[in-house]
Amino acid sequence: MLIDCYECKAQVSDSAASCPHCGAIPLDPARSLPVDVSDLDMKFRTMFWFLIKLSFAAVPAVIVIYTAWTVIGGVLSPLLHM
């Protein structure tokens, strides 16, 4: 989509980072900049909550593995010492 540059009024793509005619930036700060910021913020929050969930999920997993290892060790060690 083409929009008018606010500096030189030339036809400029709304996806362009700056006006190729006069170099004015940003062409549409309300449209271009907050999208990038919120997108980065969303990715950061997703990563943050993923790490939180991962750390919570790791706790029962470690307990299960430790319990299983203790039970297996408790069953096997008398057999091994017979």
Window 10-29: residues binding Zn ion (CB under 5 A): 19, 21-22, 24
Nearest distance, CB of residue 48 and Zn ion, angstroms: 39
Which position has the token pair 């943050």?
Answer: 48
Is the CB of 25 or the CB of 71 nearer to Zn ion? 25
DSSP-derived pairing of the beta strands 11-13 and 2-4: antiparallel
Nearest distance, CB of residue 34 and Zn ion, angstroms: 21
> Which pair of structure tokens corresponds to residue 1?
């989509």
**Phi, psi torsion values for 12, nearest 5 degrees:** -135, 140
Is the CB of 7 or the CB of 26 nearer to Zn ion? 7
